[in-house]
Structure 1
Amino acid sequence: MNYLQAFILAIIEGLTEFLPVSSTGHMVIASAVMGIGSDEFVKLFEIAIQLGAILAVVVLYWKKFFDFSKWQFYAKLLIAVIPALGFGYLLNDFIDDKLGSPIFIAVILLLGGIVLLFIDKMFKNPKIDHEADITNMSAFKIGCFQVLAVVFPGLSRSAATIIGGMQQKLTRHAAAEFSFFLAVPTMCAATGYKLLKGAHLLNGENIKLLLFGNLIAFIVAIIAIKSFIGFLSKHGFRVFGYYRIVIGVVILALYFSGIDLTVL
């Protein structure tokens, strides 16, 4: 991997991590197209640069994350993250195997896109517009929705948790923000686990690439988060549904036209 390839992957991570379009699917396909998808460090890089995106959430919502007087906020995140951590650990090998299947990712992108076309009409009359009003049970149920993204790579962690929030009567705005908050412990755990497993890959040059990628992901994620909240509140999910369908079709077309995506 060179710095240009790292730059491209980091932009994709920053743009898509908090959108309901599957950052993992986008980065895996991009790395395959660039011919670096089979590299073990690239697979680590795609996970590790999530730290930059996580930092963007913490910076933008620093008052929330550093108000230690409101322990209930941290308790809700802990309750919500437990299901994904458990399933992620148990199904790690399954997840890695499915990330190697472009057909699997394409199908999940397509199906998720179809769901997003109708999601705004499925959950009407939301009642909760602030994180403080989310109960511990609702937080746990949202965390269970996050498990779907763990089991089905390409679904999108953001999409799963936002839909879970809306199912629990959160407004689109509140559901998106709680999804951002929940991303912090979830992605920290996933990234830390991958870094421990891939510690043997962390030589001097690779560490520089990781630092560079995290910086780019951080900058782009800040812009994406600010833009997404406003767009989602006004326009809903439909455009993201169409986008996922288009991307899914493109992946299938590339695969069946004979372009080698098997390096994933």
Structure 2
Amino acid sequence: MADIINALILGLIEGLTEFIPVSSTAHVLLVEKLLGFHPAGNSFAVLIQLGAILAILLVYFQRLISIAVSLPTSQRSRHFVIAVLLGFLPAAVIGALAHDFIKTVLFESPIAICIALIVGGFILLAVDRVSFKPRYTDAMEFSWPMAIGIGFFQCLAMIPGTSRSGATIVGALLLGADKRSAAEFSFFLAMPTMVGAFALDLYKTRNELNANDGLLIVIGFVAAFVTALFVVRSLLDFVSKRGYAPFAWWRIFVGAVGLMAISMFG
């Protein structure tokens, strides 16, 4: 029963944090260590992310269908699909090559995770205070070189604590997007990226998972789906009005508390 409650808690955390720039992986890994919960090695944190992805697919279902149907006739739709695939490419290549190092080294360093949270928080604060003059206000119009650039920013999130959404949003802002379109492109880029991460991790750990691990992953998956639905539906309006500073301060707070806890309890 304790494991089921832990899986539920972690799934809720995953769904609440996946699409805001605070690093869901960092939050899940740190809370896992706090709870002493380690199902399926370090795969739980990766595998439950698919629940959050299904939330995006549901929220954007009609738009995705519209894009798919219009592909043969719409140059705009083809341009956007190619841009998303180009943005996904750097993470696909680097993630596959560095998978074992990421899981066995970076995922096992809570100090590095906390430092990444704090550093990323200050970067997000700095970026949020800059008065950019955006060249793009529509995610579907991002240029292909810009999409590739955002894809390389996304690779920074392979360091737990960096935040995939935070890295892609900051990258998009620096490359000429406004806050709303930056967040929206991050949503779409998450789809192939997280499905790919899920498939790779599932393949790599297929021989390590048992029935109990599967049950816990399903619980976390469902919890992540439900809470991510709420976040995806409300985030774009929130960042358009409030910016990213609230998330930056939260990152700094969590990272600082984490470092203090590590220094006190080892």
Which of 99, 117, 122 is the matching residue for 2:125?
117
* Structure 2 unpaired stretches of 5+: 71-76
Alpha-carbon distance between aligned partners in 1 of 2:204 and 2:131, rounded to the nearest angstrom:
40
Q: What do residues 107-148 of structure 1 show as CA deviations (whole Å, max 9, x unaligned)?
A: 111111111112123351112111221111111111111111
1:254 and 2:261 aligned: yes
> Which moves more between the two structures, 233-242 or 154-163?
233-242
> Which moves more between the two structures, 115-124 or 167-176?
115-124
Corresponding residue of 2:162: 155
Alpha-carbon distance between aligned partners in 2 of 1:71 and 1:64, rounded to the nearest angstrom:
14
1:173 and 2:172 aligned: no
| Structure 1 residue 31, shift from structure 2 partner | 0.5
1:194 and 2:193 aligned: no
Which of 128, 151, 165 is the matching residue for 1:143?
151
Q: What do residues 55-74 of structure 1 show as CA deviations (whole Å, max 9, x unaligned)?
A: 11111111232221233322
Corresponding residue of 1:59: 58
Q: What do residues 163-201 of structure 1 show as CA deviations (whole Å, max 9, x unaligned)?
A: 111112111000001001000100111111111111123
- Contact map agreement 1:123 1:167 (CA 8 A) in 2: no
> Which moves more between the two structures, 224-233 or 138-147?
224-233
Corresponding residue of 1:19: 20
- Contact map agreement 2:80 2:142 (CA 8 A) in 1: no
| Structure 1 residue 82, shift from structure 2 partner | 0.6
Alpha-carbon distance between aligned partners in 2 of 1:21 and 1:128, rounded to the nearest angstrom:
24
Alpha-carbon spacing, 1:44–1:114, altered in 2? closer, same or farther (3 Å): same
Equivalent pairs, count: 256
Alpha-carbon distance between aligned partners in 2 of 1:230 and 1:2, rounded to the nearest angstrom:
36
**Matched position secondary structure for 1:41:** coil
Please report the TM-score for the alignment, with normalisation by the length of structure 1.
Answer: 0.92
1:218 and 2:225 aligned: yes
Please report the TM-score for the alignment, with normalisation by the length of structure 2.
Answer: 0.92
**Matched position secondary structure for 2:43:** helix
Q: What do residues 206-264 of structure 1 show as CA deviations (whole Å, max 9, x unaligned)?
A: 3222222211111100101222211111011111111111111101100101x24xxxx
> Which moves more between the two structures, 77-86 or 59-68?
59-68
Question: Percent identity at matched positions?
Answer: 38
Alpha-carbon distance between aligned partners in 2 of 1:234 and 1:241, rounded to the nearest angstrom:
15
Alpha-carbon distance between aligned partners in 2 of 1:166 and 1:254, rounded to the nearest angstrom:
34
Alpha-carbon distance between aligned partners in 2 of 1:98 and 1:46, rounded to the nearest angstrom:
13
1:236 and 2:207 aligned: no
CA RMSD in angstroms comes to 1.5
| Structure 1 residue 98, shift from structure 2 partner | 1.4
**Matched position secondary structure for 1:43:** coil
Alpha-carbon spacing, 1:91–1:42, altered in 2? closer, same or farther (3 Å): closer
Q: What do residues 71-119 of structure 1 show as CA deviations (whole Å, max 9, x unaligned)?
A: 3322111100111111112222331201111110111111111111121
Alpha-carbon distance between aligned partners in 1 of 2:217 and 2:101, rounded to the nearest angstrom:
26
Q: What do residues 34-56 of structure 1 show as CA deviations (whole Å, max 9, x unaligned)?
A: 112xx351521211111110011
Alpha-carbon distance between aligned partners in 2 of 1:94 and 1:123, rounded to the nearest angstrom:
38
- Contact map agreement 1:123 1:166 (CA 8 A) in 2: no
